[in-house]
Chain A
Amino acid sequence: MVTFYDTEFSSRLLIGTALYPSPSIMQQAIRASGAQIVTVSVRREMAGGKTGDAFWSLIHEIGATVLPNTAGCKSVREAVTTAQLARELFGTPRIKLEVIADDETLQPDVVGLVEAAAILLKDGFEVFPYCTDDLGVAMKLVEAGCRVVMPWAAPIGSARGIINRNALKLLRQRLPDIALVVDAGLGAPSHAAEALELGYDAVLLNTAVAKAADPVAMANAFRLAVEAGRAGYESGLMDARDFASPSTPVVGTPFWHAVS
Chain B
Amino acid sequence: MLVIVNGKQRETNAAHVEALLDELEYASKHLAVAINYDVVPRARWASAPLKDGDCVEILTPRQGG
Contact = CB atoms under 8 A, between A and B. Distances in A.
Contacts of A86: 32
B46 interface: no
A56 B30 CA distance: 8
A39 interface: yes
Contacts of A84: 34, 39
B29 A43 contact: no
A61 to B, nearest CB: 13
A175 interface: no
Interface size class for chain A?
35 or more
B61 A56 contact: yes
Interface string A35-59: 0000111111111111111011001
Interface stretch (A11-19, A165-173, A223-231, A233-241): A11-19
Interface residues of B, number: 28
Interface in B4-57: 5-7, 24-34, 37-39, 41-42, 57
A77 interface: yes
Chain A contact residues: over half helix, strand or loop, or mixed?
A: mixed
B2 interface: no
B50 to A, nearest CB: 16
Interface string A184-217: 0000000000000000000000110000000000
B23 to A, nearest CB: 9
A17 B63 contact: yes
A19 B57 CA distance: 24
Interface of A: 16-20, 26, 39-53, 55-56, 59, 68-69, 71, 77-78, 81, 84-86, 88-90, 156-157, 206-207
